[in-house]
Amino acid sequence: GENVEQHPSTLSVQEGDSAVIKCTYSDSASNYFPWYKQELGKRPQLIIDIRSNVGEKKDQRIAVTLNKTAKHFSLHITETQPEDSAVYFCAATGGSGGSYIPTFGRGTSLIVHP
Amino acid sequence: EAQVTQNPRYLITVTGKKLTVTCSQNMNHEYMSWYRQDPGLGLRQIYYSMNVEVTDKGDVPEGYKVSRKEKRNFPLILESPSPNQTSLYFCASLPSWGNSEAFFGQGTRLTVV
């Protein structure tokens, strides 16, 4: 089955800095890559996603890039703010098994210091 | 309002006492899944279902059972809970056309003593 690796596990930045979280996946047939944000005590919620026919997608301060050849994708957050502090999960779906149930990375705890 | 509802939100139980965590969605989604979340290990899939009466094991199915008798409900059953099943559990649903957002329940914090 699919295996998703996510790095780093913890990321500490100063407010206004950029943050980058990287993920790799194992199944070359995977074709949908969502990112979820989980605030403390809350459920994970989708913040951005990218499909395999696109190399980059932006939504205000967040962007995601995908390199299908290398099987890795990244989340970029610019001008970080304290409210960006949360755990971020990457995921991959649509792999060879035919299931669209996402496989998640282990998560990155982002801390933004004011 | 479109939502996934889990119950209970918090549960403390003793080793060996059977329990069920319920999950219900009102979005007519075909796919449903259970995850457990542990520090440093992220969201690990326990079981998933692609439709009524169709269930499959995820990455960590040992000690758990599920059923999918109705499209909207996907209960998680622990027949004989053990302390290593102490965790935060999430149910999620998503539509069958795939490559789409997964909607999560509020989570169930389970402690087995």
Q: Which two tokens stand for residue A59?
A: 């939504």
Which of B43, B74, B109 best probes binding to A when mutated, by most A CB atoms within 10 angstroms?
B43
Tokens of A42: 């809350």
B99 pLDDT band, cuts 50/70/90, is confident
Q: Which residue has the higher pLDDT, B84 or B50?
A: B84
Quick check: B9 pLDDT over 70? yes
pLDDT tens for each residue of A70-106:
999 999 999 999 999 999 999 998 776 666 788 999 9
Under an 8 A CB cutoff, do B102 and A34 touch?
A: yes
B100–chain A nearest CA distance, Å: 8
Identify whether the C-beta of residue B31 lies closer than 8 Å to the C-beta of residue B50.
yes
Tokens of A113: 């210091």
| CB contact residues (below 8 A), chain B span 46-105, against chain A | 48, 50, 56, 58-59, 90, 94, 96, 98-102, 104-105
- What is residue B69's predicted lDDT score, i.e. its pLDDT? 97
Lowest mean pLDDT among A42-46, A99-103, B9-13, B17-21: A99-103
Cβ contact, residue pair A94, B98, below 8 Å: yes
Nearest in space to B4 (alpha carbons), one of B44, B32, B45: B32
> Which long-range contacts does B46-55 make (Cβ < 8 Å, 24+ apart)?
B46/B76, B46/B89, B47/B76, B48/A99, B48/A101, B49/B74, B50/A99, B50/A101, B50/B96, B51/B96
* Nearest chain B residue to A102, by CA: B102
Coil vs helix vs strand at B1: coil
